[in-house]
Amino acid sequence: MSITYRTADIPDWKYILFLGISLCLIPLTISSDSLWIDESYNALFALQQTLGDFSKHFFATTRSENQMPLGMFASWVGGKVLGTSEWSLRAVNLIWGLVTVLSFYFLGRRFRIPWLPLLLTIQPFFWFYMNEARPYTMQIASGSLLLVACVEADDNPSIEFRWLPAFFFGGLILCASSLLGVIPFFFFVLTLGAILFQRKYVPSRTALITLGILFLLLTPLGVFYFWTLIHGAGGAKMWKPGLANLGYALYEFLGFDGLGPARNEIRFLAKAHENKVSSLTQYLPGLLIFIGCYVSILVIFLKEKWYRIRSVRFSLFVIAGTCAVFLFASFVMKWPFWGRHLSAVFPSVVLVIGLILSRIPEAKHYFKTSLLLLFSLMLLLSALTLRFSPRHAKDDYRSAAEVAKLAQHQGKTVWWAADMAAAKYYGIIPYQLPEAKDSEIQTVNGVSFLMNPDPDSLAKLPAPALVIYSKPDIYDAHSSLQNWLSEQHYTLAKEFTSFKIWEKSGI
């Protein structure tokens, strides 16, 4: 079952109207809130003065950022063009958001769904990562381009200008944005290959040259990624890999984030030993309504056999294949993955949902209208809550840094058990300083930076006036600092999101 490119029965103004509404929503997704841990690493790339400085910084460490070459380079370019404020660092995503919305505009015309771009722009997942100074929106955009390429090739592969540029740029951007982008790209390649084979496509000379250039460019990129793996680059491994990773990725993808507990609360509940159900009861009404919407969509999907639509089938293939490989790799490499790592297949998820909603039989028009309205309202509510509710605020490194800088100005000593990159971005120490190693204590300008310190190391340091303490599972995994604070009778002076400021009694 396929869908052809016919739009005569739907006036152009409807497509333009929904496109305009979608474009107006994009700037609202970006805030000037404090950067959190991951964003701080991008910020350090943006702060580099020259391309030489950028290159030196890029090869100085072996972190996950070393496997995101285009993502980090985009941050540096964005810093030169837009500036390095919190809003500016995230504003680079406006480009990728525009690419994604325009891709869905063309998909909407292809499938005669004028509101398809709007369905994308009310997605909580889209809102959240538009507001992250990380390359995930870049991956969403490249995934949408690859999706356009597959859809257009499936309609008529001989009209190469409709799919070949989208495939070229989508594949190049996705693979260069992150090593993990290679996995969904592989399934997009398989999908496009199957489509072209079924359509008995004979490539032109232009197509052969274009595809040859693409894979020629990807070869040295693959060699570089192999080099990073040999040198130990990779993401954090603080969580045990398992089906829970896939479950939370689906939780993000389907837009439950804003309706459920905040991410920091989920972190706490995941590591807590007490009854977790009671902590979630306040969120149950909204979650159950939203689950009901998805159950209705699933029933319609199965009953009406919309899986026979070719675009649905190959979208599900890309989604399922990518998730399966990520799940397998997480077990083998002991590395947990989250929804953001699957960003490139998110457009495929939205397209499948949109196709199902658009093809509910007209005999049940009242149900279609009610379901569309309720589902859209729940998505928008979740997105707006993620963006504007204080309980979903990012880690407040900015406020914690202000406390530290004030103490520095007053000549007080400070212990900083939190991210060092954020301390550099917020001016506690120069950003050019080399990064401290795990368990290493580094003291600069009256501030001692602690990363899982042991009791003996703490005993050798002068007692501080203030201890700025964040996420103990990352920065105090053995509770050495927490025990020291209790033994030395420090009291809690202030709290910010993900931060506690401890003060020596009597100061």
User: Does 271 map to a domain?
Assistant: yes
Whether the pLDDT of residue 38 is over 90: the answer is: yes
Q: Is the pLDDT of residue 355 over 50?
A: yes
Higher pLDDT, 445 or 275: 445
pLDDT-based confidence at residue 241 (cuts at 50, 70, 90): confident
Can you give the pLDDT at residue 247? 86
Burial of 330 (0-12, 13-18, 19+ CB in 10 A): buried
Q: Do 110 and 154 fall within a single domain?
A: yes
Cα–Cα nearest to 253, from 371, 146, 129, 374? 129
d(C-alpha 11, C-alpha 180), whole Å: 41
Q: Taking CA 235 as the corner, what is the angle to CA 450 and CA 326, rounded to the nearest 5 degrees?
A: 150
User: Mind listing the pLDDT tens digit for each residue in 440-470?
Assistant: 688 888 899 998 888 988 988 989 999 999 9
Query: Do 308 and 424 belong to one domain?
Result: no
Strand positions, DSSP E, 269-413: none
Q: 7 pLDDT exceeds 50?
A: no
In the predicted model, is pLDDT for residue 437 greater than 70?
no
Q: Give the domain extent around 69.
A: 12-392
Q: What is the mean pLDDT of residues 234-260?
A: 81
For the stretch 217-236, pLDDT in tens is 999 999 999 888 887 766 66
Q: Of 425 and 309, which is predicted with more confidence?
A: 425
* Range among 262-266, 281-285, 384-388 rated most confident: 384-388
* Same domain flag for 137 and 34: yes
Going by pLDDT thresholds of 50, 70 and 90, the confidence category of residue 6 is: very low
Of 363, 269, 263, 348, the residue nearest 312 (C-alpha)? 348
Domain end point (choices 368, 392, 416): 392
Both 234 and 98 in one domain: the answer is: yes
Separation CA 133–CA 501 (nearest Å): 26
State the amino acid at position 445 in one-letter form: N
Q: Would residue 294 count as lying in a domain?
A: yes
pLDDT value, residue 5: 42
pLDDT of residue 3: 45
Query: Which of 392, 421, 448 delimits the end of a domain?
Result: 392
Task: Return all residues near 139 (Cβ < 8 A) that are at least 6 apart.
Answer: 174, 177, 178, 181, 343, 344
Q: Are residues 51 and 175 in the same domain?
A: yes
Does residue 49 or residue 282 have the better pLDDT? Answer: 49
Under 8 Å between Cβ of 135 and 70: yes
Q: What is the pLDDT of residue 4?
A: 44
Residue 6 domain flag: no
pLDDT at 89: 97
Looking up tokens 């690419």 gives 99
Asked whether residue 361 falls in the same domain as residue 424, the answer is no
Does residue 446 sit within a domain? Answer: yes
The answer to whether residue 481 is domain-embedded is yes
Lowest average pLDDT, out of 6-20, 60-74, 231-245, 249-263, goes to: 231-245
320 shares a domain with 346: yes
For 468, list phi and psi in degrees, rounded to 5: -100, 115
The confidence band for 237, taking pLDDT boundaries of 50, 70 and 90, is low
Is there a single domain that holds both residue 331 and residue 475?
no
Which region among 27-31, 302-306, 370-374 has the lowest average model confidence (pLDDT)? 302-306
Decide if pLDDT at 270 tops 90.
no
Residue 200 lies in a domain: yes
Q: Both 94 and 239 in a single domain?
A: yes
The DSSP call for residue 383 is: H
The listed range with the strongest mean pLDDT (54-58, 117-121, 456-460, 483-487) is 117-121
Per the prediction, the chain carries an average pLDDT of 89
Classify residue 2: in a domain, yes or no: no
* Alpha carbon 67 to its chain's center: 15
Inter-residue contact 43 to 82 (CB < 8 Å): no
Number of domains in the chain: 2
In a domain, 195, yes or no: yes
Q: Are residues 303 and 371 in the same domain?
A: yes
Burial of 397 (0-12, 13-18, 19+ CB in 10 A): buried
Do 388 and 405 share a domain, yes or no?
A: no
- Give the whole-number percent of the chain exceeding pLDDT 70: 92
Select from 363, 392, 421 the last residue of a domain: 392
Q: Distance between CA atoms of 164 and 162, rounded to whole angstroms?
A: 6
Output 306 or 412, whichever has higher pLDDT. 412
The C-alpha atoms of residue 307 and residue 311 are separated, in whole angstroms, by: 9
pLDDT class for 238, splitting at 50, 70, 90?
low
Same domain assignment for residues 30 and 176: yes
